[in-house]
Structure 1
Amino acid sequence: MIPLSLAQIAAVTGGTVCGDPTLVVTGPAYLDSRAPHPGGLFVAIAGERADGHAFAAGARAVLGSRPTGRPTVVVADPVVALGRLARHVVAAVAPTVLAVTGSHGKTTTKDYLAALLPGAVATAGNQNNELGVPLTALRLRPRDEFLVLELGARGVGHLAYLCDIAPPHIGAVLGVGSAHVGAFGSLELTAAAKGELPAALPGAGVAVLNADDPRVAGMPTPARVLTFGLRGDVTWRDVRLDRLARPSFALGYAGAWQPVRLRQSGAHQVVNAAGAAAVALAAGGDLPAIARRLGAVERASPMRMAVSRRDDGPIVIDDTYNANPESMRAALRALVSIGRGRAGRTVAVLGEMRELGPASAAAHAEVGAFARAAGVDVVLAVGAAAHPAGGIGLGDIPAAVAWLEEHLGPDDTVLVKASRAAGLDVVARALARV
């Protein structure tokens, strides 16, 4: 973070200083007292399960809602104050802000984009909410040129709030799908929420929109529009998958084509890579360099189509960070593609997809039907909420691990996928043992 005294932080956030107002914060802001940043600002939040103020003893400086015994800027609401502080730092550093949102694929696209802009400050993992976005922005240093943000939303108005914290110059909407439809209420409201990003762009900015998604392609924006997709300005052709379902393709823009070979599994990664390429082009990148850098990207965020081979033979695909019907289908296609070149079975270990509301049972049933139609040999539905997917219904994670230990063969290929809260990463880690 740019150096700021507690007096300056108080002025920005509307707080008061308890302690030395001349004390200067030089490190990033952080929430976890167990992982402090040297010279940083500990943000103490009173949550339902823990009160951050109780863990402030080792902090150099604190942003909280009451005194802590450490030098503290006391504010009415630390979350709101954190956003105000981030807005001040973004304005002071003045980087080009690039934001990515969508119902699926945004974390991988953000990871690609960060790799296309060496030195960019970028969202870690999927810290894409009212805490993660300002924490990311507060990592800016005085000479940083690019800020790459993943923006998530749980309802209408959320993206507008995040865009006020870090006003974007270039914003990409990857797609509108059924993820979180239980929270939004409908696909129409989901589209309205995602549309807050292009609406927030300045006239001199660029809206990067998915030409193949009708809910996205026509989103209103004052900015110039650059599309990506099979029908987009940035497009692709000649997609081929290797034995681990890693795509090779030609990336095209303005009549020029460049070869790309990705290191991530799944044909759907082509869309993510093209979306990132479009944003990088809008930021002034050139196509040959973008294509070259895409091919060099290693896996950045964990538990997303992480493919590993055990010493005793089975291939394990860990895609347990999140799940919705669209990403389930993409992962299942990758499972079948990888398994096609092997002698064993394809096994899909599927847990609950959260935040689908009343459509949950039908959505799980549709995913199960898709898996069987796609040629998946065995479907394991873990947890009661996932049982509508059919196949072999298992009650909990230990039951899934026990079934796999008993039945998994050396030539089998296994996909483990669910929403993060379902906890199936435990299954993936148990499977991936050496």
Structure 2
Amino acid sequence: MIPMTLSRIAEIVGGTLHDVDDPSTQVTGTVEFDSRKAGPGGLFLALPGARVDGHDHAEAAVAAGAVAVLAARPVGVPAIVVPSVPNDGPSAVMLLEHDTDGSGAAVLHALGLLARAVVDELAAEGSASGGGLTLVGVTGSAGKTSTKDLIAALLRERGEVVAPPGSFNNELGLPWTVLRADEKTRFLVLEMSARGVGHVGELTKIAPPKIGVVLNVGTAHLGEFGSREAIAVAKGELVEALPSAADGGVAVLNADDRMVAAMASRTKARIVFVGQSEDCDVRATDVVVDDQARASFTLNCSQGSARIRLAVHGEHHVSNALAAAAVALENGLAVADIARVLEGTKAASARRMEVTERADGVTVVNDSYNANPDSMRAALKALVSMARSDRHFGRRSWAVLGEMGELGPESVVEHDAIGRLAVRLDVSKLIVVGTGRTSRAMHQGAVMEGSWGDESVVVPDAAAAIAILEAELEPGDLVLVKASKSVELWTVAEAILAATPSDNTGDANTDGENGGDSQ
């Protein structure tokens, strides 16, 4: 964060200084919401959580070096106490469940105001010096984090980049990321998520983007939105917030998704279409996938063309790479440099298509960070693509799948469809984790589609899934692990990778006799 006095911060957020001896004391460190990460010169956010209230940890944060606390009430140590705000708007969506007294909404609102002030100050300084801070916003139902990571890797060729770790993309994570920027920052790459109409719009008020990327309109959070049309309305708020083409605004739209392509009519910014159709400005042709489900394609644009072999796993990353390339081209990167960076960039965020091979050849695809119907389909297709490659042909593919959350009334139907897809794709073994009706629907979908015997099983928890895998995995098998974050199914992937391979399975079968895909 740029250095700022406590009195200035109080002025920005409309707060009052409490227990502050010297209002000219500067915040020179980071802004943190975890007291364990508070450090010298920092500012601590006192937010209510599911198990603890940050106000109760204010003293510990100051003892660790924080110069003050951003709080909703006095806490006995130096603090900027912020006024209350309505606890029913988009800025409070993340904390409504446990924000019983409105303190979370108040602190989040103040955090947003502080982040916007920092953005405005950095933009003004950049204009005065002839440089400038470029904000890139990324949204979509799936692929935001992977695309954000690719964009950040490319833009580092042009200057200092601040981007969130993992999926810091909501009313807390986005301003927290913004406050990592300082005078040296050239690019801010921000994810923008939504659980309802209006949320992306609120995030763009905190950090107004110059370049906006919309990847897709899928079914993530369908329960909150009610329909894909409502999701499209929400995602399109990003392009509505962009400046005009005359002022440098650029909307990067996935032309292969008709709902995204239709957003061109909702923005004053210049449109850059990306995709595989012939009329795209940035286009992929000749897409092929290798034995690790890594895609290669030819990048075509007005600046030239290049053959690119991605280091990330899954054919769906082609569209993510195109969007990232479009942003890089807008910022002056040459096609050859884009190809070089994309080929060398691996997944930077954990538990997203992480492919790891054990000593006995068992390969684990850990995509357990989160799940929705679109990402689940992409992961299953990547699994079977790997299983059918020359390298793995004849070995078994396992899908260990858990619940996809926040799908509302469509939840049973969507889980049933995933179970059926696993059978259509000829996944060898499906382990469904959970005992709820959606888990049963996934298993039942597989059975109704033609699964027989024990090809599909439903187990109560991760421990039961681990037990099956430890007993039945054979050298060379491929295992996909995927579910919504709340299921914490990454414990399965970690257990299988940590296990000592059994020595009683014999040599790896190469002709399919002991584990070929079912027909």
Global fold match (TM > 0.5): yes
- Aligned: 1:223 with 2:269: yes
Counterpart of 1:15 in structure 2 is: 15
Distance 1:136 1:347 in 2: 37
Deviations 1:238-279 (A, max 9, x none): 122222111121111116211111111111111111111112
Q: Is the 8 A contact 2:142 2:215 kept in 1?
A: yes
Map 1:100-111 → 2, pairs under 5 A: 100-111=138-149
Counterpart of 2:216 in structure 1 is: 175
Picking from 99, 123, 137, the partner of 2:178 is 137
Q: Is the 8 A contact 2:254 2:319 kept in 1?
A: no
What is the CA-CA distance between 1:48 and the residue it aligns to?
4.3
Deviations 1:346-383 (A, max 9, x none): 00001000011111111011111111111211111111
Map 1:154-233 → 2, pairs under 5 A: 154-203=195-244, 204=247, 205-219=249-263, 220-231=266-277, 232-233=280-281
What is the CA-CA distance between 1:37 and the residue it aligns to?
3.7
Large movers: runs of 4+ above 4 Å: none
**Partner SS state of residue 145, structure 2:** helix
Please, which runs of 5 or more residues in structure 1 have no aligned partner?
A: none
The CA RMSD measured in Å over matched residues stands at 1.2
- Aligned: 1:389 with 2:442: yes
Picking from 315, 338, 342, the partner of 2:386 is 338
Deviations 1:36-59 (A, max 9, x none): 243211110123432101111232
Counterpart of 2:399 in structure 1 is: 348
2:5 partner amino acid:
S
Which sits farther off after the overlay, 347-356 or 22-31? 22-31
- Aligned: 1:315 with 2:369: no
Map 1:260-409 → 2, pairs under 5 A: 260-340=308-388, 341-342=391-392, 343-384=394-435, 385-390=438-443, 391-409=456-474
- Aligned: 1:97 with 2:135: yes
2:441 partner amino acid:
P
Map 1:67-82 → 2, pairs under 5 A: 67-76=74-83, 77-82=106-111
Distance 1:185 1:415 in 2: 29
Counterpart of 2:72 in structure 1 is: 65
Deviations 1:304-363 (A, max 9, x none): 000000122210000001111111111111111111232321000010000111111110
* Structure of greater Rg: 2
**Partner SS state of residue 299, structure 1:** coil
TM-score by length of 1: 0.98
Identity among equivalent positions (%) equals: 50
What is the CA-CA distance between 1:208 and the residue it aligns to?
0.6
Map 1:417-432 → 2, pairs under 5 A: 417-432=482-497
Q: Is the 8 A contact 2:253 2:274 kept in 1?
A: yes
Q: Is the 8 A contact 2:167 2:191 kept in 1?
A: yes
Deviations 1:62-106 (A, max 9, x none): 111112222111102110000000000011112110000000011
Distance 2:291 2:173 in 1: 36
Counterpart of 1:83 in structure 2 is: 112
**Partner SS state of residue 46, structure 1:** coil
TM-score by length of 2: 0.82
What is the CA-CA distance between 1:283 and the residue it aligns to?
2.8
Distance 1:347 1:387 in 2: 18
**Partner SS state of residue 17, structure 2:** strand
Q: Is the 8 A contact 2:253 2:272 kept in 1?
A: yes
